[in-house]
Amino acid sequence: MTDQQTPVASKSAPGRRKFLAGAAGVAALAAPMTSVAQSPIVLKMQGSWGAKDIFNDMANEYVKRVNEMSGGRLRIDYLLAGAVVKPFDVMEAVSKGVLDAGHTVPVYWYGKSKVASLFGSGPITGCDAQQTLAWIYRGGGLDLYKELLTKLGLDVVGFFAMPMPTQPLGWFKKAVKSGNDMKGLKYRTVGLAADLMQQMGAKVTQLPGGEIIPAMERGVIEAFEYNNPTSDMRFGAQDVAKNYMLGSFHQAMEFFEILINKKKWDAMPKDLQAIWQYGVEAASSANYWTAMDNYSHDLQELISKHKVNVLRTSRSIFQSQLEAWDVVSKKLQDEDPFFKKVVESQKAWAKRVAYYMFVNEADYRMGYEHVFKAKLPT
């Protein structure tokens, strides 16, 4: 360093010190702000499902997607059924803020309004669950659902996922062959399916999944449906009955309801709202793939390992269900204009969408029987 350079360096030092001090100040101010930004929004979500139910696996598929996509800014803590409230009370708990969020089905709170069950089960329109879920998101169903929540004073935001495969008629100690065989039968189901089965003459008890097998063992019920081969096998249906009847109209177009308290929703940043909403769509696909793998595998295990007699529900019972639903649906529409409004919306959608599917759909049954040189049960 030359003598001429020394004073130049000396003159620049105060400026450099000011810059460093300023930078340090900015960093000091920025540090707590960064810490606040990284603090996650934590939401307590409870499901309506017992510990062994595959529906818990499906709920966790949703939770995993939201937690990972949010990059740590949002965290859902998932709880099993009964951790805070009973399975049928999830909607009420989310509305009141006892829970932040819920994973359930509308038929579990149809005691508040039978219209609730239309958003997941019944009436028989000709559409399957996939097409009915499309009605929710493209046919005006979600607006009607929001209208129902407002009418009932429920402070929640809800979305729907997982178009469930047709639910079996269920488990019977003695197989039923016609609608007449349902008369007097002590049978478990939920939602509008209860109205349908009562119209057919069954004595219906509505129970959450975890209470079904004890009720069967005590003789409170003598037949039941729940949802699918995997859930049924996991809670031991094969230990209390051996006749498993597949196919039914009673719950042929159901899906999950994923709820969040509206105040929690309104306080959430827009990008996290988007992650919550589109996480529902992502989980809907993941849930269905999980169902196809597990349901098909476990049906074969019920047959081969547990010696369950798997039967196709007779056309006679299907016809009896159609006739019973005509009576139930007319009665409920006459009593409640909003019930009628929702049914008419579903039917208008089904008339167009189901027509397209039926006219265009390949005969997959014919293809299966050709490929595997085997006749399926009829």
Neighbours of 92 (CB within 10 A): 18
Name every residue whose Cβ is closer than 8 Å to that of residue 196 and which is 6 or more positions away in sequence. Answer: 122, 249, 250, 321, 324, 325, 328
Spatial separation of the C-alpha atoms in residues 27 and 204, rounded to whole Å: 67
Spatial separation of the C-alpha atoms in residues 342 and 357, rounded to whole Å: 22
Contact 231, 53 (CB under 8 A): yes
The structure tokens listed for 71 are 């990059």
Helix, strand and coil in the chain, % to nearest 5: 55, 15, 30
Give the relative orientation of helices 270-304 and 54-69 as an angle to the nearest 10 degrees. Answer: 150
pLDDT for res 21: 43
pLDDT for res 37: 53
Q: The tokens 């529900």 sit on which residue?
A: 313
Query: What DSSP element (H or E) covers 310?
Result: strand 309-312
Burial pattern 34-51, b for ≥16 Cβ within 10 A else e, equals eeeeeeeeebbbbbbbbe
Please calculate the CA angle 336-341-343 and round it to the nearest 5 degrees.
Answer: 95
pLDDT for res 209: 87
Contact 258, 103 (CB under 8 A): yes
Each of the 378 residues of the chain gets a pLDDT tens digit; together they read 433 343 334 444 444 444 444 444 444 444 444 444 568 999 999 999 999 999 999 999 999 999 999 999 999 999 999 999 999 999 999 999 999 999 999 999 999 999 999 998 777 899 999 999 999 999 999 999 999 999 999 999 999 999 999 999 999 999 999 999 999 999 999 999 999 999 999 999 999 988 999 999 999 999 999 999 999 999 999 999 999 999 999 999 999 999 999 999 999 999 999 999 999 999 999 999 999 999 999 999 999 999 999 999 999 999 999 999 999 999 999 999 999 999 999 999 999 999 999 999 999 999 999 999 999 988
Cα 55 off chain centre by: 8
Contact 204, 194 (CB under 8 A): yes
Query: What DSSP element (H or E) covers 156?
Result: strand 156-161
The structure tokens listed for 366 are 């014919």
pLDDT for res 297: 98
Spatial separation of the C-alpha atoms in residues 40 and 76, rounded to whole Å: 10
In order of start, what are the domains of the chain with their CATH numbers?
39-162+254-292 (3.40.190.170), 170-252+310-372 (3.40.190.10)
